[in-house]
Amino acid sequence: MIMTITGIILMVIGIGLLIAELHTPGLGLALIFGVIAMITGFVLLFEGGPLTVQIDWWMIALLIVFLLVLVGLAIWRIVLTYRRQATTGREDIVGKKGTVKETLNPEGMLLFQGELWTAVSESGTILPGEEVVITKVDGLKLIVRKI
């Protein structure tokens, strides 16, 4: 009886570690320990306890389906991650809004995400306090236009 309870506990811990691995950008350690815990749980369930304690085939099938769904979700999340466009660097800045701190005539200072940037106006003089949209990045200068 104690082997059966230990096997079930190890199975639950293994499933918990597999779910945790989906939500962490780790090295796969939770996945490895989860699989080890589940295998150990399976072994204890089948080899431990009296002969009257048996696992039904539907329970095993349900667990296999659950694991397949879990692996499918992991693969789906990986594919979505690789399809997503880069969100750092120049690609992330273009299209965002900033506030003019020093008159742009055509060059001045712009406050963007808490940082002061040198900006060049495409649309003439822009006064301090006005919002602009970033259209291009040229080195460390932002090319902007009025909203």
Q: What is the pLDDT of residues 72-104, one digit of tens each?
A: 888 888 888 888 776 667 778 889 999 999 999
Given this model, what pLDDT does residue 54 score? 63
Determine the 3-state secondary structure of 36 from DSSP. Answer: helix
Same domain, 69 and 104: no
What is the CATH classification number for the domain harbouring 138?
2.40.50.140
- One domain, residues 75 and 123: no
Domain limits for position 120: 90-146
Six-digit token pair at 113? 């995400």
Tokens 């495409």 sit on residue:
122
Residues 33 and 79 reside in one and the same domain: yes
What is the tally of structural domains in the chain? 2
Q: How far apart are CA 108 and CA 18, in angstroms?
A: 53
Q: How confident is the model at residue 44 (pLDDT cuts 50, 70, 90)?
A: confident
Last residue of a domain, one of 41, 57, 83: 83
Q: With both helix axes pointing from N to C terminus, report the angle between 57-83 and 2-22 in degrees, rounded to the nearest 10.
A: 20
pLDDT, tens digit, for every residue of 30-43?
878 888 888 888 87
Task: For the beta carbon of residue 10, count every other beta carbon within 10 angstroms.
Answer: 20
Among candidate residues 83, 98, 125, the one where a domain is terminated: 83
Q: Give whole-number Cα distances, 88 to 92, 120, 136, in Å.
A: 5, 22, 14
- What confidence tier does 64 reach under pLDDT thresholds 50, 70, 90? confident
Q: Do 58 and 16 have their domain in common?
A: yes
Tokens of 117: 């940037």
Asked whether residue 76 falls in the same domain as residue 116, the answer is: no
CB-neighbour burial class of residue 132 (10 A; exposed 0-12, middle 13-18, buried 19+): buried
State which of 29, 48, 83 marks the end of a domain: 83
